[in-house]
């Protein structure tokens, strides 16, 4: 799509979302202030009660009640505004992928927000939306009539209890087919790995227990032999992603494109659900391969730290030498020095020091060397007046608020924490604890020394990781953190 077309589409999408009463918010306080003016105490209590019930219920009844209430015209715009950016991002992507379809089915369409947008954009295609919430379908029908959208039909269907007929060129499911959001999916083989066992029995057991099996089977039965399915489900958790991918692959569905990670703002929080999958029964040419690796992006493992701990970590690293160094003068920070280096083939770092004694550091895995080198080049070639804004982008809040003694030198809660943990040199374990649960579930905590740094590592078979690094002066803090964590975490998460 060329830029102008994309801009026009986005304008139409925004106008469309506004026509439903949705508003875009970027901070929680203004959103909740608005929510309080729109919803009364009774409505808020009802919603809270429904959410509670829904989180404990595995029959789906509470979920239906929840979406029935959400479909009330005075509640819908308020709650769906939390998903404004979700609709914006998905609306754009689905639009770009629908070309060539004749009949489109939207499974779990809710009140038809996305379905009607797409139907309006593609008047030559026929759209069908189905949902198990009667109130959602009633509102969807009413809105389609009001908006005079002719190429759409909505039906109340609870899959797999109700059957489906016909065939569709495209079947969409956005956060609908894979429910049981709290289930972490398939566990990994151990706390040291993200790999899952190839175990059909466990897969079938999970698909059945989570209701995925009958829903996917019904959907596949109405897919045209050359049709496509597009899924955007809550599969941000690797254990759920692998379970879902295996469920698609077991049904002979091939990837047509690389799965597309898609993140969106939920008011002031970035949510990384997904990715978006596009699959078909007929493999077309060089189709992408299923990958069970965690998604990794450049910069993922970087952590910035300011103040005393940054200076202390910097000294540890500088003792091992550096790759690049540059001096300069900025309007605000006076004379500064920027150094980039690699520590023990395990960590990459970029240290900023200025004449007033402030320092700040960026630390990551050695895979981040190209990212840090690029940043270094930007600093090096920036005109004098721009250096301050570069510092502000990377570190300034940390440089200003640098007093906290408790701040770790490095902290990582992502997949990349494992790569760094593995790469840490000369590890000497001081304390460790591993809990083994049923069906191979496990959790591990470890505290120790690696060369001249101290580390805390926490990992489990549901891909949660935490790595904390400090210089010598922080070792007591980290030791206490280990003991506190040990007291708190003695339970291995349940697979639901
Ligand atoms: C999170 S909402 C998503 C709605 C819409 N797809 C969207 O992206 O805004 C999930 C919807 O799926 C519907 N749903 C869940 N399981 C279903 C099933 N087994 N059969 C039909 N609808 C279902 C729910 O009623 C709900 O409206």
Q: Is the dihedral of CA 64, 231, 414, 351 positive or negative?
A: negative
Q: Is the CB of 69 under 6 A from ligand 1?
A: no
Say yes or no: CB of residue 25 within 6 Å of ligand 1.
no
Query: Is residue 39 in a domain?
Result: yes
pLDDT at 402: 55
How much distance in Å is there from the Cα of 444 to the middle of ligand 1?
37
Residues 367 and 453 in one domain: no
Number of domains in the chain: 3
Reading the block at residue 217, the tokens are: 């089977």
pLDDT value of residue 395: 81
| Residues 23, 26, 27: CA angle, nearest 5 degrees | 115
User: 174 CB less than 6 Å from ligand 1?
Assistant: yes
136 CB under 6 A from ligand 1?
yes
Query: Do both 81 and 167 map to the same domain?
Result: yes
Would you say the CB of residue 110 lies under 6 angstroms from ligand 1?
yes
Contact 70 CB / ligand 1 (< 6 Å): no
DSSP 15-63: HHHHHTT----SSHHHHHHHHHHHS-HHHHHHHHHHHHHHHH-SSSHHH
Q: How far is the CA of 148 from the centre of ligand 1 (A)?
A: 24
Is residue 405 situated within a structural domain? no
Give residue 186 CA to ligand 1 midpoint distance, Å.
23
Report the distance separating Cα 284 and Cα 226, nearest Å: 10
Whether 436 and 394 map to the same domain: the answer is no
Determine the pLDDT at residue 220. Answer: 96
Please indicate whether residue 180, judged by its CB atom, sits closer than 6 Å to ligand 1: no
Q: Where are the alpha helices (DSSP H) in 395-474?
A: 396-400, 416-423
Of 374, 400, 426, the one marking the end of a domain is 400
| Domain-terminating residue out of 400, 422, 449 | 400
478 domain residue, yes or no? yes
Of 280, 311, 338, the residue at which a domain comes to its end is 280
Q: Which of 16, 75, 115, 131 to mutate to test the pocket of ligand 1 (most atoms within 8 A of CB)?
A: 131
Q: State whether the beta carbon of 108 lies less than 6 angstroms from ligand 1.
A: yes
Atom from ligand 1 closest to the CA of residue 157: 21
Shared-domain flag, residues 85 and 113: yes
Would you say residue 466 lies in a domain? Answer: yes
Residue whose structure tokens are 């992006």: 297
Handedness of CA 199, 204, 210, 216 (dihedral sign): positive
CA of 107 to the centre of ligand 1 (A): 7
In a domain, 343, yes or no: yes
User: Can you give the pLDDT of all 496 residues of the chain as single tens digits?
Assistant: 678 899 999 999 999 999 999 999 999 999 999 999 999 999 999 999 999 998 888 788 999 999 999 999 999 999 999 999 999 999 999 999 999 999 999 999 999 999 999 999 999 999 999 999 999 999 999 999 999 999 999 999 999 999 999 999 999 999 999 988 788 899 999 999 999 999 899 999 999 999 999 999 999 999 999 999 999 999 999 999 999 999 999 999 999 999 999 999 999 899 988 899 999 998 766 678 899 999 988 999 999 988 888 999 999 999 999 999 999 888 888 899 999 999 999 999 999 998 888 889 999 999 999 999 999 999 888 887 788 888 888 887 667 665 555 689 999 999 999 999 999 999 999 999 999 887 778 999 999 999 999 999 999 999 999 999 999 999 999 999 999 998 887 654 444 4
**52 and 162 share one domain:** yes
395 and 414 both lie in a single domain: no
Token pair for 36: 């309080």
Neighbours of 27 (CB within 10 A): 10
Q: Could you identify the atom of ligand 1 that is nearest to the CA of residue 70?
A: 27
Same domain, yes or no: 218 and 365: no
**231 and 375, same domain (yes or no):** no
Indicate if 471 and 443 belong to the same structural domain: yes
**Three-state SS at 271:** strand
- The answer to whether 458 touches 485, Cβ cutoff 8 Å, is yes
Q: Examine residue 493 and state whether it is found in any structural domain, yes or no.
A: no
For 71, the token pair is 């479909």
**Residue 250 contacts residue 203 (beta carbons within 8 Å):** yes
Shared-domain flag, residues 175 and 78: yes
Angle between the N-to-C axes of helices 84-97 and 113-121, in degrees from 0 to 180, rounded to the nearest 10: 40
Distance 63 CA to ligand 1 centre (A): 9
CB of 115 within 6 A of ligand 1: the answer is: no
Return the HEC string of 287-321: CCCCCCCCCCCCCCCCEEEEHHHHHHHHHHHHCCC
Identify the residue whose C-alpha is closest to ligand 1 atom 15: 176
62 plus 104 within the same structural domain: yes
pLDDT (0 to 100) of residue 496: 41
132 touches ligand 1 (CB under 6 Å): yes
- Flag whether 276 is in a domain: yes
Question: Do 74 and 205 share a domain, yes or no?
Answer: yes
Give 446's DSSP letter.
E
Task: Find the domain containing 236 and state its range.
Answer: 3-180+195-280
In the reported structure, the alpha carbon of residue 64 is separated from the centroid of ligand 1 by a whole-number distance in angstroms of: 9
How many helical (H) and strand (E) elements, i.e. helices and strands, does the chain have?
17, 19
CATH of the domain at 47: 3.40.50.150
Distance 67 CA to ligand 1 centre (A): 8
Nearest-angstrom CA–CA distance, 321 and 118? 57
Q: Let me know if residue 190 belongs to a domain.
A: no
Rg of the chain (C-alpha set): 26
β-partners of residue 260 are: 276
């Amino acid at each position: 799509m060329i830029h102008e077309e994309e801009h026009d589409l986005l304008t139409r999408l925004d106008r469309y979302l506004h026509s439903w009463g949705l508003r875009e918010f970027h901070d929680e306080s203004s959103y909740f202030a608005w929510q309080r003016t729109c919803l009364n105490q009774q409505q808020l209590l009802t919603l809270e009660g429904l959410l509670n019930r829904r989180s404990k219920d595995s029959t789906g009844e509470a979920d239906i009640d929840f979406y029935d209430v959400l479909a009330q015209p005075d509640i819908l715009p308020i709650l769906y505004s939390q998903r404004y950016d979700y609709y914006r991002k998905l609306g754009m992507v689905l639009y770009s992928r629908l070309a060539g379809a004749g009949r489109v089915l939207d499974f779990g369409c809710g009140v038809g927000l996305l379905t009607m947008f797409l139907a309006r954009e593609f008047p030559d295609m026929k759209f069908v939306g189905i949902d198990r919430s009667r109130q959602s379908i009633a509102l969807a029908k009413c809105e389609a009539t009001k908006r005079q959208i002719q190429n759409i039909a909505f039906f109340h269907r609870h899959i797999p209890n109700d059957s489906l007929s016909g065939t569709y060129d495209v079947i969409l499911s956005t956060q609908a087919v894979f429910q049981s959001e709290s289930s972490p999916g398939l566990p990994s083989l151990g706390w040291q790995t993200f790999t899952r066992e190839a175990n059909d029995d466990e897969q079938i057991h999970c698909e059945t227990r989570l209701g995925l099996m009958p829903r996917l089977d019904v959907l596949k039965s109405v897919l045209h032999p050359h049709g496509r399915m597009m899924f955007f489900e809550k599969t941000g958790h690797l254990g759920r992603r692998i379970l879902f991918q295996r469920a698609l692959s077991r049904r002979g569905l091939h990837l047509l494109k690389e799965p597309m990670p898609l993140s969106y703002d939920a008011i002031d929080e970035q949510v990384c659900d997904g990715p978006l999958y596009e699959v078909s029964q007929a493999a077309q040419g060089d189709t992408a391969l299923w990958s069970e690796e965690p998604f990794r992006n450049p910069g993922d493992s970087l952590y910035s730290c300011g103040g005393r701990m940054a200076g202390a970590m910097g000294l540890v690293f500088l003792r091992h030498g550096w790759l690049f160094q540059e001096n300069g003068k900025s309007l605000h920070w006076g004379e500064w020095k920027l150094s980039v280096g690699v520590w023990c083939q395990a960590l990459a770092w970029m240290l900023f020091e200025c004449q007033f004694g402030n320092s700040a550091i960026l630390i990551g895995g050695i895979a981040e060397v190209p990212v840090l080198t690029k940043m270094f080049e930007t600093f090096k070639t920036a005109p004098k007046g721009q250096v301050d804004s570069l510092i502000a982008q990377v570190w300034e809040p940390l440089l200003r608020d640098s007093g906290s003694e408790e701040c770790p030198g490095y902290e990582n809660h992502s997949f990349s924490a494992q790569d760094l943990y593995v790469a840490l040199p000369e590890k000497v374990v001081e304390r460790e604890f591993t809990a083994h649960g049923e069906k191979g579930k496990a959790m591990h905590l470890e505290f120790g020394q690696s060369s001249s740094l101290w580390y805390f590592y926490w990992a489990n078979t549901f891909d949660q990781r935490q790595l904390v690094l400090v210089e010598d002066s922080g070792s007591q803090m980290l030791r206490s953190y280990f003991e506190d964590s040990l007291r708190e975490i003695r339970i291995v998460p349940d697979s639901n």
